[in-house]
Amino acid sequence: GAVVSQHPSRVICKSGTSVKIECRSLDFQATTMFWYRQFPKQSLMLMATSNEGSKATYEQGVEKDKFLINHASLTLSTLTVTSAHPEDSSFYICSATSGEETQYFGPGTRLLVL
Amino acid sequence: TQLLEQSPQFLSIQEGENLTVYCNSSSVFSSLQWYRQEPGEGPVLLVTVVTGGEVKKLKRLTFQFGDARKDSSLHITAAQPGDTGLYLCAGEGPNSGGSNYKLTFGKGTLLTVNP
């Protein structure tokens, strides 16, 4: 089946720094990638939808200047958390689709901001 | 706005028991998916239901999509400790349209099966 990877799997950073998370589709071309955030024991909340070559569409309440998304190729999307603060600590998950109904999820990235 | 209500939120049962998890909405979805997620990992797709009234079976798991495509249930027979995890339902739409296939997730049901 289709495989989606994320890097890094875990990251710890100091408050005020920026962190970049990569999401790659390993064996298919992802026309659309999604970024989710999940707090402990809670569900996935969609942050933004990213289409290759165009600007991401952000969900209501998600700051686009804080969570920068770049989908420069059909196999890579990046999420940069700028000026991270402790409240940004969360589990960030990406998913990718080639245009079919199924979204393939990555393994997630655990971000801890000190 | 929470479009998908999942219940129960937490469930702790003994090995061998049966259980049902519900996913309800006032909105119609073009399809509904069930996922299982282990701690520290991404969700893994279990099944997709598309047709109203559809029933799908996956070993000891039975999934049903309501006739009106607004609700779904997951029934597990003779639960085992390996079934422990977070079960999530997710609906495609209802307003996505186009080719984005945006998913709306329920809050999840955290299942613990004790040996």
Question: What's the pLDDT at B99?
Answer: 44
Give the residues across from A92 on adjacent strands. A37, A109
C-alpha A80/C-alpha B64 separation (Å) is: 39
The verdict on a CB contact (< 8 Å) between A101 and B101 is yes
3-class state of residue B51 by DSSP: coil
The verdict on a CB contact (< 8 Å) between B99 and A99 is yes
Q: Pick the closest to residue A84 from A11, A9, A14 (CA basis).
A: A14
B94 has pLDDT over 70? no
Chain A's closest residue to B93, CA to CA, is A101
What average pLDDT does the structure give for chain B? 90
Q: How many angstroms away from the CA of A48 is the closest CA of chain B? A: 10
B23 has pLDDT over 60? yes
Q: Which DSSP state fits A87?
A: G
Question: What's the pLDDT at A92?
Answer: 98
pLDDT-based confidence at B96, cuts 50/70/90? very low
Per-residue pLDDT reduced to its tens digit, A25-73: 999 999 899 999 999 878 899 999 998 888 899 999 999 999 999 988 9
Q: How many angstroms away from the CA of B49 is the closest CA of chain A? A: 11
How far is C-alpha A16 from the geometric centre of its chain's CA atoms?
Answer: 19
- Please give the average per-residue pLDDT across B39-67, as a whole number: 94
Write the residue in A41, A43, A102 that is nearest to B45 by C-beta.
A102
CB of B109 within 8 Å of any CB in chain A?
Answer: no
Is the Cβ–Cβ distance between B14 and B111 less than 8 Å?
no
Is the Cβ–Cβ distance between A51 and A69 less than 8 Å?
no
Q: Name residues whose C-beta falls within 8 Å of residue A87's C-beta, 6 or more positions apart in sequence.
A: A113
User: How distant, in Å, are the alpha carbons of A2, A12, A85 from that of A89?
Assistant: 28, 9, 7
Is the Cβ–Cβ distance between B33 and A105 less than 8 Å?
no
Lowest mean pLDDT segment, chosen from A14-23, B51-60, B89-98: B89-98
Collect all residues of chain B within an 8 Å Cβ-Cβ radius of residue A97. 101
Collect all residues of chain B within an 8 Å Cβ-Cβ radius of residue A54. none
- Please give the average per-residue pLDDT across A70-84, as a whole number: 93
Chain A's closest residue to B10, CA to CA, is A41
Is the Cβ–Cβ distance between B68 and B11 less than 8 Å?
no
Per-residue pLDDT reduced to its tens digit, A1-20: 689 999 999 999 999 999 99
CB of B106 within 8 Å of any CB in chain A?
Answer: yes
- Output Rg (C-alpha) for chain B, integer angstroms: 14
